[in-house]
Amino acid sequence: MMMLGLGSVGLVLLSLAVQSGHGAQDSAVWSREETTERNYYTRYHNMSEITAWMEQMKRENPDVVSSMVYGQTYERRNITLLKIGLSSTVRKKAIWMDCGIHAREWIAPAFCQYFVREILRTYKTDTKVNEMMKNLDFYITPVLNVDGYIYSWHNESTRLWRKSRSPGTGGCTCYGTDLNRNFYANWGMVGVSTDCCSETYCGTKALSESEAWAVTDMLGKMREDILAFLTIHSYSQLILVPYGHPNISAPNYDELMEVGLGAAKAIKAVHGMDYTVGTSPDVLYANSGSSRDFARLIGIPLSFTFELRDKGEHGFELPEDQIQPTCEEAYAGAQHIITYTHDKAFYSYAATVTATLWTTLLAAWVSSAILL
Amino acid sequence: MGWTLLILLVVLTVVHGNPTVMVRTGSGPTVGFDQHPNSVPLGEDIQTTTEVVEEVMTTGVLNPSHYPARRAATVVQHYLNTRYGSPYRWIFLSTVHSGSAEVGVEVEDQHTLGSVSGQCSAELFFPGGEGQSAPQVQASCEGLHQSNTTAQEEAFYQQHRASNNLVSGNNIPDSYGHMEPSMKPFWQLGGVASSFIMLRESNESTLYNMAQVANFTQLETEKDQLRFNYHVLLHEMISQEIIHWKLLVTWSPEQGVQVLQTELQPKCHHCEAPPNTTN
């Protein structure tokens, strides 16, 4: 009786719902371990699936993919990244991307997986991706907050967990520190809580959390080589530039905004979605201790936070049928930033060398002409 | 202590169902607590808005991509849902446009799921200082009446008013963002009911969305109103907190959504301890 009453718009909605189906049901037909099935990248995956997937990426692409364990979580789990790039005898520049620093933002690890698959799928045939794989190494951490992510998969009541899983101290019985308030970047100054029960608890001190320490350590070792730092979150559809503190400006704010706006334009061209670009205090809220701010502070010039879909309708529980379009648009945005970064590093240098060469030749010709 | 007056020109899309902004004559949706703007038929608000414009001109233009406009627009969204929302009408907004001639922002929703755009102008007061009270909103809308939800609402109402088959559900959407199609109107009803709380609780430092309907249970129909107990999870963006509320909700096509009782659920600290699991 309800069906008869549906108008045309209602029918569209109903058929969309039917088409998207349910991830868990689909997995009965396809093995969840098999990533060759095209619908693998349209579903959310738990930590053991992602770990198995990382092994598979290495196995299938041994000449371009390796992995690195660069830290341990509170619960003593490995924090692992994939290093992706054509091998080289010389030291290479790098792009850093991490996903899942906040456990409940499931679309973020899904995007990291999609990104890896996409560059591996296209680098042999796409000349630009090939060039970037030649000149750069991509360091991609699919899940940074491993403990939190696993906890968010435990049952429906833990799904919205955000923080790490370290216990509270000093008589506070709650768990977890907000990893994105725990970095050594104006730590504890604004947009944080000192209550360990709070979702934005910044920890007992900067880098109290081993996960934040692991990233800090890696970035410190690599910092001369990292050209761009991308940290992936949800939700709100934003591209955030440093800094989270309202009174501090990045020296290259104009460049960051220009590149960010270019990324937002690239995103919109894919599915029409609007992503707002700005500093966190301008477009969202003030905060301190973020990984993005730390990256900028140690000198990585292009440092961005992506906040993916949606704008609050589903929030953290983004339907699986939106994984693909979200990843497609975010990929376009990330590629805009990475391409800019790559070209700035490799074409500017070439341009400078070429200009110098011509100037030298011209001077030699002129002086020889005068002498004759 | 101060009052922040904002005028918003708001373009909205009604999502999930054929949107119509209906003029309710007589008693519109009411909230059983606090001040709430009197139900005003459409059309009359326009005058009020223009009268106030002159006062506001001096305060400057809101940057549409900055957070004050976003937060204000979200409050207007909550307000409009309390006035016009139903199981088949849940209003969302997304993009904010700046008006040039007047102090105001235009909000436009480009939602992709076959929905309809409309335009609303709204004025919004955030009372400051001690004893925070709810923001005061007045709005008038046009263009949202392109399709009629009456048929679906009536069918839904008739289907569920008999008490021999009371419905319930939980985890809508589930962890994967999925919900059964039959649960969707209950999700939307939960969203609209949550708007009453989100409106009441909003201030300049908050941004609320409903994260999930944890569960709902239909109660016996009373006085021709469908009745439900709802347990909803709200996400407050600035603090990042998940806040649990229990609501007693009634609805009928005639009376609209009413929230009779609300009860804040305390955060469960002891629930956070690690489960005994190897994963």
Residues 162-191 of B with CB under 8 A from A: 170-171, 173-178, 181, 184
By the CB < 8 Å criterion, does B145 face chain A?
no
A14 touches chain B (CB under 8 A): yes
Compute the residue count for chain A: 372
What number is the average pLDDT over the span A271-294?
97
Of B233, B271, B211, B274, nearest to A151 by C-alpha is B274
More confident residue, A305 or B8: A305
Residues of B in contact with A20 (CB under 8 A): 178
Which chain A residue has its CA at the smallest distance from B242's CA?
A160
Closest alpha carbon within chain A to B209:
A312
- Chain A residues with CB-CB distance to B70 below 8 A: 283
Residues A175 and A167 sit within 8 Å (Cβ to Cβ): yes
Q: What are phi and psi of A209, to 5 degrees?
A: -95, 130
Give the model's pLDDT for residue B91. Answer: 87
Chain B within 8 Å of A197 (Cβ-Cβ)?
A: yes
Q: Which of residues 27-86 of A touch B (CB under 8 A)?
A: 43-44, 46-48, 75
- pLDDT of A260 above 60: yes
pLDDT value of position A352? 60
- pLDDT tens string B157-193: 999 999 889 999 999 999 999 999 999 999 999 999 9
Kindly state the tokens that stand for A142: 């699919």
State the pTM of this model: 0.83
B254 Cβ neighbours under 8 A, 6+ residues apart: B224
Residues of A in contact with B158 (CB under 8 A): 1
| A352-364 pLDDT, tens digit each | 666 667 777 776 7
pLDDT for the residue numbered B227: 98
- Residue B74: closest CA among B142, B124, B19: B124
Report the percentage of chain B scoring pLDDT > 70. 65
For residue B39, with 0-12 CB atoms within 10 Å meaning exposed, 13-18 middle and 19 or more buried, which class applies? Answer: middle
Q: Which of A10, A158, A283 sits opposite B18 (nearest CB)?
A: A10
C-alpha B271/C-alpha B258 separation (Å) is: 32
Three-state SS string over B98-157 comes to ECCCCCCEEEECCCCCCCEEEEEEEEEEEECCCCCCCCEEEEEEECCCCCCCHHHHHHHH
pLDDT digits (tens, 9 = 90+) for B118-163: 677 777 888 766 666 889 888 877 766 555 788 999 999 999 999 8
Do B65 and A278 make contact, defined as CB atoms within 8 angstroms? Answer: yes
Active site residue A211: no
Any A CB within 8 A of B92 CB = yes
Q: How far is CA A224 from CA A218, A337, A347, in A?
A: 11, 18, 18
| CA distance linking residue A74 with residue A176, whole number of Å | 10
Q: How far apart are the C-alpha atoms of B277 and B279, rounded to whole Å?
A: 6
**Nearest CB partner across the interface for A197, out of B159, B269, B273:** B269
Q: What single-letter amino acid sits at B100?
A: S
